[in-house]
Amino acid sequence: MKEINDSKKIIVAIDGFSSSGKSTMARELAARVGYIYVDSGAMYRAVTLYAMRHGMISPDREVATGKLVAALPSIKISFAPAGADGVQHTLLNGEDVESLIRDMKVSENVSPVSVIPEVRERLVALQQEFGTHKGIVMDGRDIGTTVFPDAELKVFVCASPEERARRRLKELNEKGGNVSYEEVYANVVERDRIDTSREVSPLRKAEDAVELDNGTMTREEQMEWLLDRFNRATANL
Ligand code: DC
């Protein structure tokens, strides 16, 4: 019975640069089509928060790699279903860290943590487990290339760094943050550089991914575009 249901569902991989709006799109698509949504970036952020709390990251962003790799088996990441706020919450060893992992300090430290091969290996395995029964929308950097190279629908989202910094600043301000546009812009550019140049699973568009430049599209237009792609990908199941 299960297999029949699974065969009617697909995996949707949404990759792109930081703050390209891919998480919002992915979450909305999952809600519209009744799929599970997984924010893979939240998993890298949760590991980063753990490392920061345990003194494994120096002020100049040197990571105590050996210590962090040794601690990996004791870092449990899970998600609590969306509550009244409609947002799925990330749990680190059972603790709700959803708002803590969005902090600028975590954003600044997440890139050096996400280049560590053992961290990637562990998180990729966990991400693949989430997709065992398909019916999943996952967003990140390497979902269409490494995590689910056979995903039936792959989307690569892009927008200019200026546009993305503006969006991120708005998001942070709405949460009561006190950062400047310049700080956010510098963080976006730096993360782009690290995400695209790292050795393991660098951010790049999968050959069979469809590109979405959402810089000039409204949220509704993006959703319409995505639903159309989704319907095409599921039409022949
Ligand atoms: O999507 P985000 O900005 O919340 O992701 C946080 C960081 O995690 C990002 O700087 C790069 C890293 N990341 C990654 O390396 N691979 C993924 N699949 C998702 C995120």
Residue 1: pLDDT band with limits 50, 70, 90 = very low
Question: What is the model's pLDDT at position 208?
Answer: 96
Amino acid code (one letter) for 123: L
Question: What is the model's pLDDT at position 67?
Answer: 98
- Residue 194 CA to residue 196 CA, distance in Å, equals 6
Nearest CA to ligand 1 atom 4: 41
Q: Which residue has the higher pLDDT, 177 or 61?
A: 61
Question: Does the beta carbon of 98 lie inside 6 Å of ligand 1?
Answer: no
Question: What is the model's pLDDT at position 86?
Answer: 72
List of long-range contacts for 54-60, beta carbons under 8 Å, 24+ apart: 57/109, 57/112, 57/113
Average pLDDT over residues 177-187: 91
Question: How much is the pTM?
Answer: 0.90
Question: What is the model's pLDDT at position 6?
Answer: 67
- Residue to mutate, 14, 19, 20, 44, ligand 1, most ligand atoms under 8 Å from C-beta: 44
What is the Å distance from ligand 1's center to 41 Cα? 4
Tokens 């120096």 belong to residue: 58
Beta-strand ranges (E) seen in the chain are 11-16, 36-39, 77-80, 89-92, 95-96, 136-140, 153-158, 210-213
